[in-house]
Amino acid sequence: MRKIKYKKGRKLQHITLEYTGTHKENETEMQLFVYNDADVIEYDEFTVLALNSCFDYTKNNWLNVHGLNDISLLKIIGAHFKLDDFLLADILNTTKRTKLEEQPDVLFFNIKSLLPSEYSDNISVEQLSFILKDGILISFQEKRSDFFTHIRERLRTHAGIVRTKKVDYLLYLLLDAVMENFYITLEDEEDKVEELINLTKKDAKPIILEKIENHRDNLNFLKRSIVPLRDSLYYLKTIKDDEDENGLIQKETFNFFIRLHQKSLELLEQIESDMSALESASNFYFSEQSRKMNEIMKTLTIISAIFIPLTFIVGVYGMNFENMPELKTENGYFIVMGVMFLLVIALIIYFKKRRWF
């Protein structure tokens, strides 16, 4: 579990094949689905030795790669499918932004999958990459996860229309599953933000302001992850009318990618709304702090106002003049104390009537 921010890391050459993520302990595993409307064949422990024998180019082929540590294996995959080294470098470099790249016979898609961390307020991040070729979809994940479990089940049971469509529709389903993680993460953030707002109204402690800033960072991170995804999906939306030169995306499938673009816009709008709510919570916190400070200053001012005349009286009778007539009064002490007491009562009544406290 980690929270990745877009920042400058160790610079790599554009074609340097080196995995930059944190899941370096995971072994690279592969899974292959070969399917069409009639049947499906699943190879759960697929190896590169079966690259030539298991693929059926008259059907749809989905190769899912878990783990990016075995660079030599990825090179073999790249050489077999004639993938550019630049694409392999982008798959291995997890610091890259979401991007869409179109080549003569390849469509490359890179995306971040975000999920709330179970034991902290951070966000767990995993990079996923997709390569779409004619009849072939290759997905790369940093580790084995259950993002696509329901899609595999749909392939096995022939649920829905996935087996009647080409692999471009499968790409849509995988991207849609990743975007569902955005909704889960955003919903989790919204629950925590609502809790923070309620805490701010009850008792504005300094730790609350720190949490507000943490969640503001999380929402900004979400936004930075979704904006390039929105731009990539918009590009797919725009080439619908221009006809995809590669023919990798069927004309009827473009409408599904347009839906994803609409989802990205909805997510960004909701993030903006949540950030406004956090801004309101932050303003409320500072307003509450100012109100408390004003209450303290008002209390101290009232106390000072009560003791000012008492201090004046004590100062007058503390002077060492011999001819002060009150000094020889038999009950002078008790009279002065009584006057001071009545003065305090009078000031308190006056302040109370003015509703100063």
Task: Provide CB contacts within 8 A for 228, sequence distance 6+.
Answer: 97, 98, 99
pLDDT in tens, 252-302: 888 899 999 999 999 999 999 888 888 888 887 788 778 888 888 888 888
Its pTM stands at 0.78
What angle in degrees, to the nearest 10, is found between the helix axes of 167-202 and 206-242?
160
- Residue type present at position 238: T
pLDDT in tens, 241-256: 555 456 788 888 888 9
Q: Is the pLDDT of residue 8 over 50?
A: no
* CB count in 10 Å sphere of residue 154: 17
Helices (H), 64-129: 71-80, 85-92
Nearest in space to 115 (alpha carbons), one of 178, 58, 60:
178
> What distance in Å separates the CA atoms of residue 51 and residue 42, rounded to the nearest whole number?
14
> What distance in Å separates the CA atoms of residue 48 and residue 96, rounded to the nearest whole number?
27
pLDDT in tens, 32-56: 999 999 999 999 888 888 888 888 8
Q: Is the pLDDT of residue 312 over 70?
A: yes
Q: Is the pLDDT of residue 57 over 90?
A: no
Contact between 27 and 147 under an 8 Å Cβ cutoff? The reply is no
